[in-house]
Amino acid sequence: MSSLIKETRKQVPSEFDIKECNYCKSNKIIFDDHTGEKICSNCGVVLEHQILPAGPLTEAALNTNQSSLASHDKNLSTIIPFSRVDANGMAIKGEQYTNIQKLRHWNKVSESNRSYHRNLKKAFAILIRIKDRFSLSDPIVEKSAYYYRKILDMKLIKDRSISGFVTASVYTACREMGVPRTLGQIAEVSNGDKVFAAKCYRLLARRLKIRLPSMDPSYSLNRMANKAGISQRTLRHAMGMMTILKDDTVSFGKDPNAIAVAVLYGACLEKGEKISQSQITKAGNISIVTLRKRFLDVKKIFPYLPNGP
């Protein structure tokens, strides 16, 4: 930190030369490249502020201090560095260092003295873990944090699981931005309960009055085909079947993932590709009973499909 301060703060250029401070009469005047301020290093008074043109250093400073909803303090908190030197590189000793230690302690305490901030810290730690696991973009993370903050402000999380609402917030943001992630996948990474996360999602959507586009089952086909070892020829045929089925009323209100598994299973039967019901349901993370129910719906549109074993 001290080396950064030395690099970014230098003596005032000659064209803006100020010989001494108007308040303490000190001649120790420094210039801060980040803020464009001329500061008295003796008493800390800002003597003048200049508007600096955008450059590599100022742009980097803006990027590092960018506000984010996915941080419990929105990256706006005061940070007191663990440094034993001042802006001039001089060692801080004695009573002055003791006072700085006290300020640092109370600054740390003030960041965690409310259950609201403690809740956000726990929630956003889970959110960052989900982001890293699925390589989610920053807009999705920011949108997820926005939804979580809204339901926290509405006090919907009281006596409920934090991970459940984080899962619901991420799932909502992914659905809104067209990213194919299932609630079960997100719940697995957040170590939450899928059933409870689904309840949190319905509560979030109802209270925030969110209307999301229906999820296209085609997104799940490629993932399940790769997991089950199904050939590309059968996968392409299943894609064609899904294009017809997703616009039919038979699929309305049904689990898109279950519909995708049933279509893929039907394509395997039609193309003569051998695969058991247990294999394909494991790839789609559904039960065999659900597969059989949804396969009956698929056969209403494609009655020529052979019956399964």
Classified as helix, coil or strand, 105 is helix
Judge contact between 291 and 281, C-beta under 8 A. yes
Report which DSSP code applies to 160.
S
Nearest CA to 122 out of 21, 54, 190 is that of 190
Q: Which residues pair with 37 in a beta bridge?
A: 32, 49
pLDDT of residue 222: 82
Cα distance between residue 250 and residue 298, in whole Å: 8
Q: pTM score > 0.85 for this model?
A: no
- Retrieve residue 236's tokens: 């392409």
Question: Is the distance from CB of 170 to CB of 130 less than 8 angstroms?
Answer: yes
**CA-based nearest residue to 156, from 113, 112, 205, 195:** 205
Domains with residue ranges and CATH for the chain: 2-111 (2.20.25.10), 115-207 (1.10.472.10), 218-301 (1.10.472.10)
**Residue 77, pLDDT score:** 64
User: Going by C-beta distance under 8 Å and a sequence separation of 6 or more, which residues neighbour residue 68?
Assistant: 74, 75, 142, 145
Cβ-contact 158, 151 below 8 angstroms = no
Q: Please enumerate in sequence order all residues whose Cβ is within 8 A of that of 187, keeping only pairs 6 or more positions apart, or say none.
A: 167, 193, 194, 197
Yes or no: say if 147 and 204 are a contact pair by the CB < 8 Å rule: yes
Among residues 240, 177, 238, which one has the least CA distance to residue 213? Answer: 177
Side-chain half-sphere exposure of 103, counting CA atoms within 13 A? 11
| 5: its two tokens | 């301060």
Query: Does residue 43 contact residue 86 with C-beta atoms inside 8 Å?
Result: no
Which amino acid does the sequence have at 232?
A: Q
Pairwise CA distance, residues 248 & 245, whole Å: 5
- How far, CA to CA in Å, does 107 sit from each of 104, 112, 254? 5, 9, 52
pLDDT digits (tens), the chain, 309 positions = 344 434 444 443 433 467 778 777 788 887 776 666 777 777 767 777 665 454 444 444 444 457 778 876 676 666 666 777 766 777 777 777 788 778 777 776 666 657 888 888 899 999 999 999 998 998 999 999 999 999 998 988 887 889 999 999 999 999 888 887 888 889 999 988 888 998 999 899 899 988 877 666 667 788 888 888 888 899 889 988 888 887 777 777 677 788 888 999 999 998 888 888 889 988 888 889 999 998 988 888 888 888 766
Strand partners, 133: none
